[in-house]
Chains A and B, each alone.
Chain A
């Protein structure tokens, strides 16, 4: 039996939580200690996940580092393992969490301990989502994340935090309960909820459509896809900076991951059937929310809508079911994780100084905050998908896959790239350039060291993977290839069955 590296990834943040629980919240001395405890835990977790990537064997698509323990006797096993698709998300999670903990310095003024606990619990649950190999275990992690996120938005959020927290919680819960029905039905149909076994057994084509829809209802809310995306702008706007970052960078990726792992993997026939639906919704998301983003006056809201548009690209890419499309989607998710995190942090930087998220408050920041302006520029361009940034690689691959599958869809989706340039550049112009009219802005300092550190930490991978995406592609290539092969194999099997019967 090897060392249970995945379980330790899940457990380590919880151990950090225990340490935090027994520290006193009141005196100031402790707050920095608490931060170091949390930072240390998450950083060690990050190192472990990097080590995991080093150990990871990218020449096979089968699951690695599998742990399989009896949990509910004779029913469900605690089973975790990773393949090329999930490992990147785990690294993203540990990386972003560490940065979030560094960033809490300025944005969280009270009850720091509780906030750190919430972030660490969140981290462990998110890692659990990405490495669980059993539907019930997946559901458990997927749903449990609601609790810390609800509290994060509600306790440390802005003015309309209560409304947003409720909306976030109830929307997601409503989407997920149908998935629970589907999971239990799968158990009774196939006698197992183990994903590896389910891949082999396949699921009866008669029921695939309904089951697909049940899973879809959950993932569509989480992605979020149009028209159930309305919780996202609210949640983003009201959440504290670190909360927005986790929400945008990691939580949304659970759904994309779910689409790849479950919708494509388990229900190929239904996925094929519903592809036009997903295309349509994705295109609406790309075009419509881009236009909505154009008109926003609140910076955070603008970025939130741009997230919806970017996730539209992701769902589009996944359902092209081509090598390029899916690889593009995964890279897009990773890069969106980095870029949106950076953009929210950028907004957080000026919000902490001026306490306003409205675009019209700002203008002419370039003369007082030159360093900030450079980094903000970099991330703006990355969000647009300029070549040389990781945003480009993802979008390019997705569009390539889409052109392969359907010219019209790809053409409309390309519009989204133009819109993205429009709203991001306009945002940048209004905030950074122009005349410095607001007197309050004259006094504000440029980035401090920790802010600089965080933003550069995000900028480096964005640029690195923009120029050299090989490591990402190498990791996911085989897994994606086998997924598509399995998908097509199941589809052909079904076609021949239908022919034989008909």
Chain B
């Protein structure tokens, strides 16, 4: 008999999706209620997750579903990310007249998919979760369907996403063919001898996953999709699916294929170095902030992958710390983006920030802190994120990776500095509106304070993460 208590968060969120759908159908003009309810449901789901034992490892459904510290932590991140996205996007959606019931429901659907992905211990379950979240995201990308760019973003994302899913499935079938099972643990037990077929399978799956987290050289969709999607959806793209895909990376590489580390380590190092360098260099020429964020997130994924490529628990933990801090920084950055509004029009190029510091000192101060943190300058949180990653990288004497990574932070610092320069050194423009929703202000304040004051209690986050032992 399966103890369904452990999957109560997933069950609850599925039920609430159905309930919200029905509510939306039967009650007219219910977007506001559904929006608020969905935030509430997400928070309840979070509480249900916290209710699960954190340090135990439980497998369900004949080993295909796993609840452990990794899954709980990452699910919490996902849900927090989702709740924040929902709470700060209301005004933006209303302005574009896309404040519809589908928006929160689609976000809930994709979060459900991600939760399944995060907990999956089986190729089939993993694929189901992945598709659920991807399909919702395709729709979300083209949510502002009257705008050409948004539809284009959705279509691009769909085509490339479908391609990557195809590659992934092919990889899964290869692995199934050579190991005789889809369950991660069984594959791990069977797989004593390395076989070419398995290596191929791993490569295909890694490629598919690299698409999902937009690691170089599978990043081409990211800038266009980030730019075209509605800003609130871009925020969702930038943080939440990355958390889920990174978890799958960890689970997939470190449960069945830990013994084949020589086979996949080189691939990860390559992905990581390519992403770090490309993300830093390509962002320099960008003028649209959303495109710039796309490139910067490519770079940041490179650092997270650097932690994963190490092959130790410390490496995994460092990359989880990295992604958590990255989530907070992006939340702050996008809150600022959503505040750049004048006469009901949003602005998103770098030049629109010109001289911001004279009219909006508080906003520009927070933006500056966030940008310096993204650049990894101490004593802000972003520095600690990089510090942990490189600490674990250097532990394994991977000096090349560490030096390349740190040098690319210098390159990346250039474009962050460029934004700060425009905010602080250039001539001022017209004022922006200041009638922001309380949630937007709160999320900006909260993320800025977290980033700024992280150095006072730097071990709190690490202590929680250090309880996640995958290997």
- Range for the number of chain B residues in contact with chain A: 20 to 34
In the complex, what residue of chain A is closest to B463 when comparing beta carbons? A73
Interface stretch (choices A36-44, A148-156, A368-376): A148-156
A347 at the interface (CB under 8 A from B): no
The answer on a CB contact under 8 Å between B463 and A166 is no
The answer on a CB contact under 8 Å between A154 and B403 is no
B468 at the interface (CB under 8 A from A): no
The digit string for A154-188, where 1 denotes a CB below 8 A from any CB of B, is 11000001100110011001100110110011011
In the complex, what residue of chain A is closest to B459 when comparing beta carbons? A73
A418 at the interface (CB under 8 A from B): no
Distance (whole angstroms) from the CB of A127 to the closest CB of chain B: 14
In the complex, what residue of chain B is closest to A154 when comparing beta carbons? B425
The answer on a CB contact under 8 Å between A166 and B414 is yes
Contacting residues, chain A, for B409 (C-beta < 8 A): 173, 177
User: Assuming A143-B378, A188-B394, is B406 touching A178 (CB within 8 A)?
Assistant: yes
User: Assuming A71-B458, A144-B378, A155-B425, is B394 touching A166 (CB within 8 A)?
Assistant: no
A147 at the interface (CB under 8 A from B): yes
The digit string for B399-425, where 1 denotes a CB below 8 A from any CB of A, is 100110011011001100100110011
Contacting residues, chain A, for B403 (C-beta < 8 A): 178, 181
Indicate which residue in A73, A147, A162, A178 contacts B377 across the interface (CB closer than 8 Å).
A147
B379 at the interface (CB under 8 A from A): yes
A146 at the interface (CB under 8 A from B): yes
B427 at the interface (CB under 8 A from A): no
B455 at the interface (CB under 8 A from A): yes
In the complex, what residue of chain A is closest to B386 when comparing beta carbons? A180
Contacting residues, chain B, for A173 (C-beta < 8 A): 377, 409-410, 413
In the complex, what residue of chain A is closest to B394 when comparing beta carbons? A184
A400 to B391, CA, bound (A): 43
A72 at the interface (CB under 8 A from B): yes
The answer on a CB contact under 8 Å between A72 and B377 is no
Indicate which residue in B383, B391, B413, B455 contacts A169 across the interface (CB closer than 8 Å).
B413
The answer on a CB contact under 8 Å between B406 and A180 is yes
A144 to B382, CA, bound (A): 12
The answer on a CB contact under 8 Å between B377 and A174 is no
Indicate which residue in A162, A170, A187 contacts B421 across the interface (CB closer than 8 Å).
A162
Q: Of residues B387, B403, B407, B458, which shows the largest number of chain A Cβ atoms within 10 Å of its Cβ?
A: B387
Contacting residues, chain A, for B462 (C-beta < 8 A): 72-73
Contacting residues, chain A, for B55 (C-beta < 8 A): none
Contacting residues, chain A, for B372 (C-beta < 8 A): 147
How many A residues, CB 8 Å from partner? 32
Indicate which residue in B394, B410, B458, B459 contacts A181 across the interface (CB closer than 8 Å).
B394
A403 to B406, CA, bound (A): 41
A140 at the interface (CB under 8 A from B): yes
A139 at the interface (CB under 8 A from B): yes
A169 to B377, CA, bound (A): 11
A161 to B417, CA, bound (A): 13
The digit string for B444-471, where 1 denotes a CB below 8 A from any CB of A, is 0000000000010011001100000000
The answer on a CB contact under 8 Å between A174 and B417 is no
The answer on a CB contact under 8 Å between A162 and B425 is yes
Contacting residues, chain B, for A174 (C-beta < 8 A): 407, 410
In the complex, what residue of chain B is closest to A210 when comparing beta carbons? B399
The answer on a CB contact under 8 Å between B417 and A150 is yes
B226 at the interface (CB under 8 A from A): no
Contacting residues, chain B, for A147 (C-beta < 8 A): 372, 377
A177 to B409, CA, bound (A): 9
Indicate which residue in B387, B394, B424, B458 contacts A151 across the interface (CB closer than 8 Å).
B424
Contacting residues, chain B, for A154 (C-beta < 8 A): 421, 424-425
B390 at the interface (CB under 8 A from A): yes
The answer on a CB contact under 8 Å between B459 and A140 is no
Contacting residues, chain A, for B361 (C-beta < 8 A): 25
A33 to B42, CA, bound (A): 49
B189 at the interface (CB under 8 A from A): no
Contacting residues, chain B, for A144 (C-beta < 8 A): 377-379
B395 at the interface (CB under 8 A from A): yes
The digit string for A48-75, where 1 denotes a CB below 8 A from any CB of B, is 0000000000000000000000011101
A162 to B424, CA, bound (A): 10
The digit string for B371-396, where 1 denotes a CB below 8 A from any CB of A, is 01000011100010001001100110
A154 to B372, CA, bound (A): 15
Q: Of residues B372, B391, B399, which shows the largest number of chain A Cβ atoms within 10 Å of its Cβ?
A: B391
A173 to B408, CA, bound (A): 11
In the complex, what residue of chain A is closest to B422 when comparing beta carbons? A162
Contacting residues, chain B, for A73 (C-beta < 8 A): 459, 462-463
The answer on a CB contact under 8 Å between B417 and A169 is yes
User: Assuming A71-B459, A177-B410, is B391 touching A187 (CB within 8 A)?
Assistant: yes
Distance (whole angstroms) from the CB of A416 to the closest CB of chain B: 33
A154 to B410, CA, bound (A): 18
A156 to B390, CA, bound (A): 36
In the complex, what residue of chain A is closest to B455 when comparing beta carbons? A140
Distance (whole angstroms) from the CB of B6 to the closest CB of chain A: 30
Contacting residues, chain B, for A169 (C-beta < 8 A): 413, 417
Contacting residues, chain A, for B413 (C-beta < 8 A): 169-170, 173
Contacting residues, chain B, for A71 (C-beta < 8 A): 458-459
A170 to B409, CA, bound (A): 10
In the complex, what residue of chain B is closest to A177 when comparing beta carbons? B406
Distance (whole angstroms) from the CB of B385 to the closest CB of chain A: 13
A174 to B407, CA, bound (A): 7
Contacting residues, chain A, for B391 (C-beta < 8 A): 184, 187
Contacting residues, chain B, for A155 (C-beta < 8 A): 424-425
The digit string for A100-142, where 1 denotes a CB below 8 A from any CB of B, is 0000000000000000000000000000000000001001100
The answer on a CB contact under 8 Å between B394 and A185 is yes
A150 to B402, CA, bound (A): 26
Contacting residues, chain A, for B425 (C-beta < 8 A): 154-155, 161-162, 165
In the complex, what residue of chain A is closest to B399 when comparing beta carbons? A181
A188 to B406, CA, bound (A): 18
Distance (whole angstroms) from the CB of A315 to the closest CB of chain B: 24
The digit string for B131-150, where 1 denotes a CB below 8 A from any CB of A, is 00000000000000000000
Closest 4 CB pairs of A and B: A177-B406, A73-B459, A140-B378, A184-B394
30 A-B residue contacts at CB 8 Å?
A71-B459, A72-B459, A73-B462, A143-B377, A143-B378, A143-B383, A144-B377, A150-B417, A155-B424, A162-B421, A162-B425, A165-B421, A166-B414, A169-B417, A170-B413, A170-B417, A173-B410, A174-B407, A177-B407, A177-B410, A178-B403, A178-B406, A180-B406, A181-B399, A181-B406, A184-B390, A184-B394, A185-B394, A185-B399, A188-B394
Q: A71-B458, A170-B417, A184-B391 are in contact. List 16 more A-B contacts (CB 8 A).
A: A72-B462, A140-B378, A140-B379, A144-B377, A146-B377, A147-B372, A147-B377, A162-B421, A165-B421, A170-B413, A173-B410, A174-B407, A177-B406, A178-B403, A181-B403, A184-B390
